[in-house]
Structure 1
Amino acid sequence: MSEKVALVTGSTDGIGLHTLRNLARMGYVTLLHGRNPEKVKAASEMIKSEGGAVQEYIADFAELAQVRRLAEEVSERNSKIDVLINNAGVFEMERRTSADGYEMTFAVNVLAPFLLTSLLMKPLKAAPAARVVNVASISHMQGGAGRRGGEIDFDNLQHESGYDVYGAYGLSKLSLIAFTNELADRLRGSTVTVNACDPGTVNTKMLLAGWGRVGIDVSSANNETFLATDPSLQGVSGKYFVSRRETKAALSTYDEQVRRKLWEELETLTQATYSDLS
């Protein structure tokens, strides 16, 4: 397979769809993912109408079994993956639980990408220089439920007490960056890099629901595309980017003890197995 292959999760609308369209225009075989079959079909037709190559995948990240099925289907059709963008996310106004009994924000925003990335490691390593991009947020500094901003409360990861929508979202993005940095260290010396980014303040459905119309239009949201494709980032790993500039994330995301404790917790919750990463 000579064409480059890119999977963008949560790519039926918003920044995910915009990024997938960018990649399709650049000649990538694009792997479109969503949970709604009708939206997947509509997005697929849009990309095809623009001359892009697209594969369709349906999975609800609120159920880890569907994440596993998605990884199997992707791996069956693609011997390599050049780009994996973990873009899918939720912003839950009230505390809900996933099909597996986990707090929904943490389940979709953290557990699903942790598991999916582990299951796609073989095709990622089969690419000459694969890139994993984890979509975080400047909101990772948001505190809540008695937790100071930028710190992980391991006793309340599931927000059983004091649920706050901004705190839960912030914790999920903080955890995603910590996972990014730990995975980057474990992948050191391999052909796979992994970085995190703030996609920008963009008027997506999520931003409008939580903060109102305070951002830029989706058509200008190219930060994910930059991390996935820019030649200047070849070999760069374990970094956090805001507006295409390398930036320092919360100090806890660089703390090896915190990162490893979180990694072990994520392994327990997802039953994910990362092996032979070097």
Structure 2
Amino acid sequence: MQGKTILVTGSTDGIGKQTALELARMGAHVLVHGRNTDRAKAAADEIASKTGAVVSFVTGDYASLAQVRQLAEDILSRVNRLDVLINNAGVFMTERRLTEDGFEMSWQINHLAPYLLTSLLVERLEASRPARVVSVASMTHAYARLDYENLQGEKEFKPSRAYSLAKLGNVMATFYLAEKLAGTGVTVNCLHPGVVDTKLLRAGYSIEGTSVENGARTSVFLASSPEVEGVTGKYFDDRKEAAASPMALDAAERQRFMDVTNKMLGL
């Protein structure tokens, strides 16, 4: 990964931080992303001291689409190439709250914001080809209920249902972008990281999980392995291609879902 520039969103702790650490160990220039400048800088400094790699940091709160757009501008102004984008940032909301943009928090932070950021960085990824987009989804996407009148818990809000639906969004966006970017040299894949002991898992499910080292394995694999060079539009689990939900594989449903997403974002 020498000479590669990699952005890992949500990398001040948990799976994202471990992913950034391991890619820095491989010699990549890693951009650590967080909501808070102090935490992002501290994580970048720690990773740099452990690896001797060049590690930078960027900030932007996904609860603000204006900040997502500013984040993209900052990245584009600071790096002239982007070889890998890892969409890792995510939250589990235990109650229904709206962002400053008027969207339900889980829907925006887990689905709208990473899709918007990816869209804003696509041209730089294409110019750096071969390049990769890797999104951390979840096996819970298979449990999502798709009700277009209740995408944001307008009628009924259940935390696990909101999370599953946003993770379905990650998978839908992956397959949609893979088709859209076919032939450009940019591959787009997503993954289930496992049941990992993170703040998100404890907030959402109150259970223990595997280590962040195990949780980062598939993200690192998809970002770096020659085995997946040219592979696109796939869902992975434990570094192997796995079956996504039938809903995610339904081309007509996926188009409808992404049309709604694009309209919300004005894309």
Q: What TM-score do you get using the length of structure 1 for normalisation?
A: 0.92
* Alignment deviations for residues 18-63 of structure 1 (CA, whole Å, 9 cap, x no partner): 0001111111110110002221121011012121211111100000
Matched-pair contact (CA < 8 Å) for 1:131–1:228: yes
Matches within 5 A, 1:1-278: 3-50=3-50, 51-143=52-144, 147=145, 152-221=146-215, 222-272=217-267
Distance 1:174 1:111 in 2: 12
> Post-superposition shift, 1:142?
2.3
Matched-pair contact (CA < 8 Å) for 1:79–1:126: no
Matched-pair contact (CA < 8 Å) for 1:83–1:132: yes
> Post-superposition shift, 1:214?
2.8
The residue matched to 2:81 in structure 1 has which SS? coil
Matched-pair contact (CA < 8 Å) for 1:132–1:194: yes
Distance 1:118 1:94 in 2: 29
The residue matched to 2:261 in structure 1 has which SS? helix
> Post-superposition shift, 1:260?
1.2
The residue matched to 1:120 in structure 2 has which SS? helix
Distance 2:174 2:48 in 1: 32
The residue matched to 2:24 in structure 1 has which SS? helix
State the percentage of identical aligned residues: 46
| Structure 1 consecutive aligned stretches of length 4 or more whose deviation exceeds 4 Å | none
Amino acid in structure 1 at the alignment position of 2:260: E
Distance 2:171 2:48 in 1: 33
Distance 2:143 2:200 in 1: 16
Distance 1:169 1:161 in 2: 16
The residue matched to 1:93 in structure 2 has which SS? coil
Distance 1:133 1:140 in 2: 16
Distance 2:207 2:86 in 1: 25
Matched-pair contact (CA < 8 Å) for 2:11–2:32: yes
> Post-superposition shift, 1:268?
1.2
Amino acid in structure 2 at the alignment position of 1:187: L
> Post-superposition shift, 1:137?
0.3
Matched-pair contact (CA < 8 Å) for 2:175–2:189: yes
* Alignment deviations for residues 61-89 of structure 1 (CA, whole Å, 9 cap, x no partner): 00000000000010011121110011000
Matched-pair contact (CA < 8 Å) for 2:8–2:33: yes
Please list every run of 5 or more consecutive structure 1 residues that lacks an aligned counterpart in the other structure.
Answer: 273-278
Partner of 1:276: none
Q: CA RMSD in A?
A: 1.2
> Post-superposition shift, 1:15?
0.3
Matched-pair contact (CA < 8 Å) for 2:93–2:204: no
Amino acid in structure 2 at the alignment position of 1:154: Y
Q: What TM-score do you get using the length of structure 2 for normalisation?
A: 0.96
Please list every run of 5 or more consecutive structure 2 residues that lacks an aligned counterpart in the other structure.
Answer: none
Amino acid in structure 1 at the alignment position of 2:175: N
Amino acid in structure 2 at the alignment position of 1:14: G
Amino acid in structure 2 at the alignment position of 1:66: Q
How many residue pairs get aligned? The number is 264
Amino acid in structure 2 at the alignment position of 1:236: V
Amino acid in structure 1 at the alignment position of 2:147: D
Distance 2:254 2:142 in 1: 16
